[in-house]
Amino acid sequence: MTGDRSDLPLVPDLNLINQSLAIVCGKWRLYIILLLGKQTLRYGKISEMLPGVSEKVLASELKTLVALGVMKRKAYAEIPPRVEYTLTKKGLLILPILKQIQEIGRIFN
Amino acid sequence: MTGDRSDLPLVPDLNLINQSLAIVCGKWRLYIILLLGKQTLRYGKISEMLPGVSEKVLASELKTLVALGVMKRKAYAEIPPRVEYTLTKKGLLILPILKQIQEIGRIFN
DNA sequence: CAGTATCCCCATCGATACTG
DNA sequence: CAGTATCGATGGGGATACTG
């Protein structure tokens, strides 16, 4: 905020970090966001692409991500129901950073 | 798997992501690494710069980060004891990415 | 199809006291 | 000073069954 920001402050802002972690952390969080990177997906499709995640956890993670403003949900009044998830503008903004995070895994292989 | 890899795969590698999360996640993890970014620090100093973290949690987080290869521990045979923590080469490698993660918090403010 | 509703486990995080 | 040891609280994550 004040002065030069050529580098990050010596003592990083805990609130900022916690907010980042609130979005990134969680066993499936990153994976789900990455999956939605360039496509709109239906609930069933996400579920199918994520072998291992239980329905409850997937549903609650999606709900949280929508609440966080990372993605948006669009439900169609059809039978059978159809619900689609898409990244928001903010979600798209953080996408490159999220992709970078994968590089960490690569470095520590 | 097959074809062009100009971008990340449609279905990202779960193992890679999990490995990344293993390093990044945890309430204090990111903060500790960032703190060590450009300096070697003693246990007591880290503790002091992290108001709110209990000794047990700090100690176990440091131990884990050393085991992960993110930082290294150097103990001096002195009385009173002195222990210093420094980022490893790999730790330094991921530092820029970690700093980027803070930007996520900024975007969602 | 796209979710809830329940119930449960265990890993993580934490406070406090103690030690080499 | 730099940690363990111990006990306890919390909630993320999961299995299964059910519903609009």
| pLDDT higher than 60, residue A9 | no
Residues 6 or more apart in contact with residue B31 via CB below 8 angstroms: A12, A14, A17, B50
Q: Going by C-beta distance under 8 Å and a sequence separation of 6 or more, which residues neighbour residue B9?
A: B1
Quick one: pLDDT band at residue B13, thresholds 50, 70, 90?
A: confident
User: CA of B53 vs C1' of C15, distance in Å?
Assistant: 11
A4 or A84, greater pLDDT: A84
Question: For the stretch B20-55, what's the b/e string if a residue is b when 16 or more beta carbons lie within 10 angstroms of its beta carbon?
Answer: bbebbbbebbbbbbbbbbeeebebeebbeebeebee
B44 pLDDT above the threshold of 70: yes
A102 and B8: CB-CB below 8 Å? yes
Please give the average per-residue pLDDT across A26-37, as a whole number: 93
Cross-chain Cβ contact A105/B19 below 8 Å: yes
Q: Which domains does chain A have, with CATH numbers?
A: 28-107 (1.10.10.10)
The overall average pLDDT reported for chain A is: 88
Q: With bands split at pLDDT 50, 70 and 90, how would you rate the model's confidence at A2?
A: very low
Q: CA B32, CA B62: separation in Å to the nearest integer?
A: 8
What is the interface size between A and B, counted as CB pairs within 8 Å? Answer: 120
pLDDT in tens, B51-109: 889 999 999 999 999 999 999 999 999 999 999 999 999 999 999 999 999 999 999 98
Given an 8 Å threshold on Cβ–Cβ distance, is A12 in contact with B21? no
Taking the C-alpha atoms of residue B80 and residue A89, their distance in angstroms, rounded to an integer, is: 54
CA of B70 to C1' of C20 (A): 27
* Rounded average pLDDT over A42-67: 93
Percent of all residues in chain A with a pLDDT value above 70, rounded to a whole number? 89
Interface test with B, best of A5, A18, A19, A20 (most B CBs within 10 A): A20
* Cα-Cα end-to-end distance for chain A: 37
Average confidence (pLDDT) over A1-19: 61
Q: What is the mean pLDDT of residues A78-82?
A: 93
Which protein residue has its CA closest to C1' of C6? A56
How far off is chain A from B39, nearest CA to CA, in Å? 10
Quick one: pLDDT at residue A7?
A: 43
- Check whether B3 has a pLDDT greater than 60: no
